[in-house]
Structure 1
Amino acid sequence: MRHPYLDHPGPLAFAHRGGSLGGPENSMAAFARAVRLGYRYLETDVHTTADGVLVAFHDERLERVTDGTGAIAQLPWRTVSAARIAGREAIPTLEELLDAFPEARFNIDVKAPAAVRPLVDAVRRTNAWDRVCAGSFSEARLAAVRAAAGPRLATSAGPRAVAAVRLRSLTGGRLPLARSARRHAICLQVPERLTGGGDTGPRLVDRAFIETAHALGLQVHVWTVNEAERIRSLLDLGVDGIMTDRIDTLRDVLTERGAWI
């Protein structure tokens, strides 16, 4: 059955970290800007502080984007909450985001094992089951999320399932697909190319990959795409969603195609 998370006509437009090229990434201001532009899908990441507070933040450490220092997992919330993104924006907790944007759906990258239980607890407390999709590059973390939340929480596929779908697409569907690659996930969330979405390296997302995923009932969401021509090319191939830092560019492309809804 189609998960309610995917109930949206046309391609899904994700504001990656709130649209990091338009404002401080993973900040309340960035997410608010994306929502004002009409975005219904917001992408973020989660880590847990030493005292168990789940924060929307990409890096393990504070230094790159804030005026604070140290590893989030080793700091209490009191210290993390004092840091400022770009010197001015507070680091939001996941529950603050879920409460602040009750109509938005969130794609959440689980960055650490300690974030699994707080994530499921936050979804339960806010009753956000239909508007959260959890993902991870770690098969172990994905398995832990699914075990803790059950099938009510949407998840994206892990690396093994992505590899299995790619191999199947390259062999014209002749390779059998392990049951584990077909269970649990509602989508594949992948870079356009295996090097991370740049202009070099083996292509992952092509028509055969998309058609194979669709035949298995899986959507294909591609990250992180910021150039208008690449967005158009991927939409022409039939991808179901695009994550971008350039939320203005993605909106403009979808608008020109009559697909901004």
Structure 2
Amino acid sequence: MTHPYLDHPGPIAFAHRGGAADGLENTVTAFRRAVDLGYRYLETDVHATSDGTLVALHDATLDRVTDGKGAIADLPWREVRRAKVAGREPVPLFADLLEEFPGARFNIDVKAPGAIAPLVEAIRAADAWDRVCVGSFSQARLDAVRRLAGPRLATSMGVREVLALRLRSPFERSVPDPARAAVPGRAVCVQVPDRSGPVAVVDRRFLRAARHRGLQVHVWTVNDRDRMSALLDLGVDGIMTDHIETLRAVLAERGAWPDPV
């Protein structure tokens, strides 16, 4: 069994924040550009406003990327909606992204406890269970999402689970273990950085350990062309990038860019 979210030919290309290199991260314009290039997987982040409205934005505050100021969790939607990314583009509602890009799949980093219930409700309202994978840097937030959403939701491994996998990786077999794969409520993939400081996170042993559990391995955020190629040669299942044209070119040269839908 494979979760429908992972039903994709070849390595998955993720447009990180829609392709953050152009300065319009997490906007409809950025996501539209990625989709027009042929991206089927869009990575984004979610926060909730003070009145429970779920928005796609990476930071906890408006200050870095918009012309607004203040913490999203402290502001009502009527104020957040006036902020413009790079002074140009509005902060989108996550529900609107699901509607605007019906053919896309979303990889979501849930950034705050207040976003958990609105996120699950947005997925449920859109019946987007097959189009969404949720992860978090907080194991507690990820566990809460899993409890609320139930087994239909695809998730990546949390930080505690990734650490355990990494520590066990030298001792794993390469043969998948059907008893561990595709169990409802468990992670369907591992999403990790290429490196943690000087230490390589993704290597052949780590990939072997993930395969043993039936898990795909997706690596973020890779913007260097040579490193993209090296990771694909290693056998990773997906790459997240800010530089969407570069990753598209690397995959196309390998005959691994999917045909238009």
TM-score (norm 2): 0.93
Give 1:259's aligned residue.
Answer: 256
- Cα 1:78–1:182, aligned 2, differ >3 Å: closer, same or farther? closer
> Aligned pair count?
251
CA apart distance, 1:165: 1.1
Find 2:227's aligned residue among 224, 230, 233: 230
Counterpart of 1:107? 107
1:221 Cα deviation after fit:
0.2
Deviation at 1:164, TM superposition (A): 1.2
Whichever residue aligns with residue 157 of structure 1, its letter is: M
One-letter code aligned to 2:76: P
**What is the distance in 1 between the residues matched to 2:73 and 2:219?**
29
Greater CA drift, 158-167 or 2-11:
158-167
SS state at 1:109 partner:
strand
Residue 186 of structure 1 and its aligned partner are, at CA, apart by: 0.3
Return 5+ residue gaps in structure 2 as ranges. 174-179
1:12-161 → structure 2 map (5 Å cutoff): 12-161=12-161
- Alpha-carbon distance in structure 2 between the residues aligned to 1:138 and 1:34: 28
CA distance in 2 between counterparts of 1:91 and 1:207 reads: 40
2:6 maps to 6
Q: CA RMSD in A?
A: 1.6
CA distance in 2, matches of 1:120, 1:35: 24
Counterpart of 1:207 in structure 2: which amino acid?
R
Q: Is the partner of 2:99 in helix, strand or coil?
A: helix
**1:190 — aligned with what?**
192
Instruction: Return 160-169 or 45-54, whichever deviates more.
Output: 160-169
Q: Indicate if the aligned counterparts of 1:18 and 1:43 stay in contact, CA closer than 8 A.
A: yes
Question: 1:254: how far off?
Answer: 0.1
Aligned runs of 1:155-170 on 2, under 5 Å? 155-170=155-170
Runs of 4+ in 1 over 6 A off after TM superposition: none
How far apart, in 1, do the equivalents of 2:147 and 2:184 lie?
Answer: 16
Q: 2:207 aligns with which of 195, 210, 216?
A: 210
SS at match of 1:243: strand
The sequence identity of aligned pairs, in percent, is 65
SS of the aligned residue for 1:115 comes to helix
Mean Cα deviation higher: 21-30 or 41-50? 21-30
Q: C-alpha distance in 2, partners of 1:194/1:88? A: 34
**Alpha-carbon distance in 2 for matches of 1:172, 1:183:** 22
> 1:22 Cα deviation (Å)?
2.8
2: CA distance between counterparts of 1:12 and 1:69?
Answer: 35
Q: Aligned partners of 1:5 and 1:75: how far apart in 2?
A: 33
Partner residue, 2:244: 247
TM normalised by structure 1 equals: 0.93
Query: Aligned equivalents of 2:146 and 2:69: distance in 1?
Result: 32
What is the alpha-carbon distance in structure 1 between the residues aligned to residue 97 and residue 228 of structure 2?
27
Q: Is the 8 A contact 2:12 2:239 kept in 1?
A: yes
For 2:188, give the aligned amino acid. Answer: I
Paired residue type of 1:193:
R
Gaps (5+ residues) in structure 1?
A: 196-200
What residue in structure 1 maps to residue 177 of structure 2? none
1:111-169: per-residue Cα shift (whole Å, max 9, x none)?
00010000000001111010000000111111110111001010000011111111111
- Alignment partners' CA distance in 1, 2:195 and 2:223: 14
